[in-house]
Amino acid sequence: MRLRRAGARAFLTFKGPGTRERHKSREEIELEIPDPGTLTSILERLGYSAVFRYEKYRTKFAAPGEPGIVTLDETPMGVFLELEGPAVWIDQAAERLAFTPADYLTGSYASLYREYRRAHEEAPMNMVFGDLGTA
């Protein structure tokens, strides 16, 4: 489950189990939340607590007539390119961008950040710009 804030908007997302083969795939069900503070209070009273917090700046790109989206995510641990769409389109777009399947990452930001923290012992628990001091 994820509570995401984007500017003045907030969203609650259910994330189903993912497949991590050549391409990552998972069910996501999302709804907009008018008051994220109240939802946070409800979740806490139900016994949930935040276990990981991260920030990113996301820019989305689309080409007319193409079935997928290219996103550029700037995070405190680096810049990532995400290709979202049908598997055939992902492979074709990756090739046009000079990537091969060997370059594909299918882990979540939480798992990628855990790896990052193993290599950077000084890194804080949460992946936020203020803590890492990088862009």
Q: Can you give the pLDDT at residue 97? A: 95
Domain count, the chain: 2
Same domain, 60 and 124: yes
Same domain, 97 and 127: yes
Rg (CA), the chain: 17
Amino acid in the structure at residue 1 = M
Q: Which of 96, 93, 73 is nearest to 83 (CA)?
A: 93
More confident call, 127 vs 8: 127
Residue 67 and residue 115 in one domain = yes
What pLDDT sits at residue 1? 85
Per-residue model confidence as pLDDT tens digits over 39-86: 999 999 999 999 999 999 999 999 999 999 999 999 999 999 999 999
42 and 80, same domain (yes or no) = no
Q: Would you call 77 helix, strand, or coil by DSSP?
A: coil
**Same structural domain for residues 80 and 97?**
yes
- Quote the CA–CA distance of 106 and 116 in Å, as a whole number: 15
130 and 94, same domain (yes or no): yes
The reply to whether 14 and 73 lie within a common domain is no
| Residues 22 and 65 grouped into a single domain | no
Pairwise CA distance, residues 97 & 43, whole Å: 41
pLDDT in tens, 78-127: 999 999 999 999 999 999 999 999 999 988 899 999 999 999 999 999 99
Q: Is the pLDDT of residue 4 over 50?
A: yes
Q: Do residues 87 and 39 both lie within one domain?
A: no
Q: Is 36 exposed, middle or buried (0-12, 13-18, 19+ CB in 10 A)?
A: middle
Same-domain status, 64 and 107: yes
Asked whether residue 62 falls in the same domain as residue 31, the answer is no
Query: Residue 134: what pLDDT?
Result: 45
Do 63 and 129 share a structural domain?
yes
* Residue numbers of the domain that contains 75: 53-135
Residue partners of 57: CB distance under 8 A and separation at least 6:
73, 74
CA 104 remoteness from chain centre: 14
